[in-house]
Structures are given as structure tokens and as C-alpha cells.
Amino acid sequence: MNFWVIQGLNGLAFGSLLFILASGFSLIFGLMRIVNLSHGAYFMLGAYVGISAMAAGASFWTAILIGGVAIAVLGAVIERLILRRLTGQPLAQVLVTLGIAFIIADACVWIWTGDPRPVPMPRELAGAFRIHQLAFPIYRLFVIGVAFTLAAALWFLLERTRLGAMIRAGVDDLNMARAMGIRTSVLFPVVFCLGSALAGAGGVLAGPILSVYPGLDTDMLPLALVVVILGGVGSLLGAFIGSLIIGFIYSYGQALFPDLAYMILFLPMVLVLTLRPTGLFGRQAI
């Protein structure tokens, strides 16, 4: 019994981290039609920046902020100087983001070396939460809380605000949104920075659970991709449900069938792409 509950909570915590990463990935994909293959690298770079900030004396919380802002700025520069020039050339955009991912990965090894870096947990969240014979790290519960709060905040942004109405219009039909006078040239950098910031901050937040190491980017990116395919492009609800599903599959799969973990993870993606190309909650086919 304990096994199922603990693995369930682990799955929820991992799904929460995935949501922080995948929500931005999905929004960028849905609005700008860019499969941003550097999104995993943003996650890893954000974590490294956070480590350096902490080494320089910043608190864990300030490091999350610094990681988020740094990657948002990087995202803004990449969107403005590179991706915008390639508007209407999706293949070129995908290849460019892949190239950027490799560059970031190499730069990280160069700056932070190839050794895995543990990220210290904030003291106030150390320790375990106990009920009867169950003990679960408080930090993981905190990560779950952050993801649910973020989901609520993003829901409010997209469903209730003027900016959100324009973003949703763009996700639904970009040409129509432009014909309505919606300035997509303003929306694109906003969404790209928001997605990048979430990836960067998410990397720091994930540090105490996953630690930071070369290859973290390529470990996380396919999972974000599976989440978006499963949930549906540009759908916040899809990213949320998809992240939790993948989190549970990942957690139980690793524990029960470690040899088949990847098969269990990617099989739903293959099935969804074959049977329901729009994903569970999306409108556009992948």
C-alpha cells in the first residue's frame, strides 16, 4: 500500500515539474507554431544559473527568480534576433532551436564542467511530512503546490484577461487573429519570454529533486514533447493533465518495469498520434 501511495506522490511531484516545463512549451508551440527544441536546454541552463546565483550568495528563492529572468531575457533575444527572421519557415525554426540546444549544452559543460551538481534544498522545506507510517519529502509537496498554483494563475491569465483572450485567439487561428488586428508581433515575444521564464525557473525548482547534470536537457525535452502531444498543442488543460499522466506513468513505470520505462512512456504518444492527432484537449493536429 505504502509503495503505491509514495510512488503516486512521486509521480505527482514529477508531473508537476513536467507541467512547469511543458506549459510554456505547449503555449509557444500552439501560438507560434514553433517546436522549440531548445526548451529542455533552457530548463537546464536555468538550473545552472540558479546554482551560480546561490554560490554567489543568493537564497534559493532569489535563485529561482534569477534563473527565470535570465532565461526570459535569453528567450527574448533568440525570438527577436533569430526566430522572427525565420517566420513562416517551420523547418528552419525547428533546426535553429535544435542548434541552439546543442550550443547551450556545450556552453554549460564549458562553464559548469561535466560533473553533476547537487542543488541544496531550502532549509525551511527540508525534512519529511509524516502520516502514520508514510513519510514524504516536504519539498516535493511544495513543488506540487507550486505547479497547481501556476496552473491556476495561467488559467486566469488565459481565460480571464485581455492578454489571454488574444493569446487564445492566436492559438485557435493565427490568420484570423491577425485579421482582427491582434498584434501577434507583440504576442509572440510575450509568450516566448513567459515560456522561457517558466523553463528557467522550473530548472532551479527541479534542482533539489533531479540535481543538475549534462544531459538533463535531453532527458526532459522528450517528456515535454510527449506531454504536449498527449494533451494537445496550445491547451493549458492538456498540458496539465498530460503532465500528470506522464508523471504517474514515469514513476510507476520506473518502479515496476524499469527495463520498459521508455516503452511505457512513449507508447501513449504513439497511440495518441495514430488515433487522435489533436491530442486529448487540442484543436490542431500535430
| List 65, 92, 125, 182, residue binding other proteins (CB under 8 A) | 182
| List 33, 84, 117, 178, residue binding other proteins (CB under 8 A) | 178
Note the Cα 99 to chain centre separation in Å: 19
Our CB check for other proteins shows the closer of 59 and 161 to be 161
In the complex, least distance from residue 185 CB atom to other proteins, rounded to whole angstroms: 6
Q: By the 8 A CB rule, do 27 and 197 touch?
A: no
Greatest CA span in the chain, whole angstroms? 60
Residues 20-49 that bind other proteins (CB under 8 A): none
C-alpha cell at 148: 497547481
Q: Is 285 in the site for other proteins (CB under 8 A)?
A: no
In the complex, least distance from residue 76 CB atom to other proteins, rounded to whole angstroms: 17
Q: By the 8 A CB rule, do 164 and 158 touch?
A: yes
Residues 130-169 that bind other proteins (CB under 8 A): 157, 160-166, 168-169
- Residue that the C-alpha cell 554567489 belongs to: 56
DSSP, res 52: H
Binding mask 245-284 for other proteins (x = CB under 8 A): --------------------------------------x-
Q: DSSP letters along 163-214, please?
A: HHHHHHHHHH-HHHHHHTT--HHHHHHHHHHHHHHHHHHHHHHHHHHH-B-T
CA distances from 274 to 215, 267, 277 (A): 29, 11, 6
Residue from 216, 223, 212 nearest 261 by CA: 223
- Residue that the C-alpha cell 511543458 belongs to: 22
Our CB check for other proteins shows the closer of 124 and 173 to be 173
Tell me, what amino acid is at 131?
A: I
In the complex, least distance from residue 165 CB atom to other proteins, rounded to whole angstroms: 5
C-alpha–C-alpha distance, residues 27 and 155, integer Å: 12
Binding mask 70-109 for other proteins (x = CB under 8 A): ------------------x---------------------
Tell me, what amino acid is at 163?
A: L
| List 111, 176, 270, 285, residue binding other proteins (CB under 8 A) | 176
Our CB check for other proteins shows the closer of 51 and 169 to be 169
How many residues in the shown chain lie near other proteins by CB under 8 A? 25
Where does this chain touch other proteins (CB under 8 A) — which range of 25-33, 171-179, 222-230, 255-263?
A: 171-179
In the complex, least distance from residue 68 CB atom to other proteins, rounded to whole angstroms: 17
In the complex, least distance from residue 173 CB atom to other proteins, rounded to whole angstroms: 6
In the complex, least distance from residue 153 CB atom to other proteins, rounded to whole angstroms: 11
Residue from 33, 38, 81 nearest 200 by CA: 38
Contacts to other proteins by CB under 8 A = 88, 157, 160-166, 168-169, 172-173, 175-185, 283
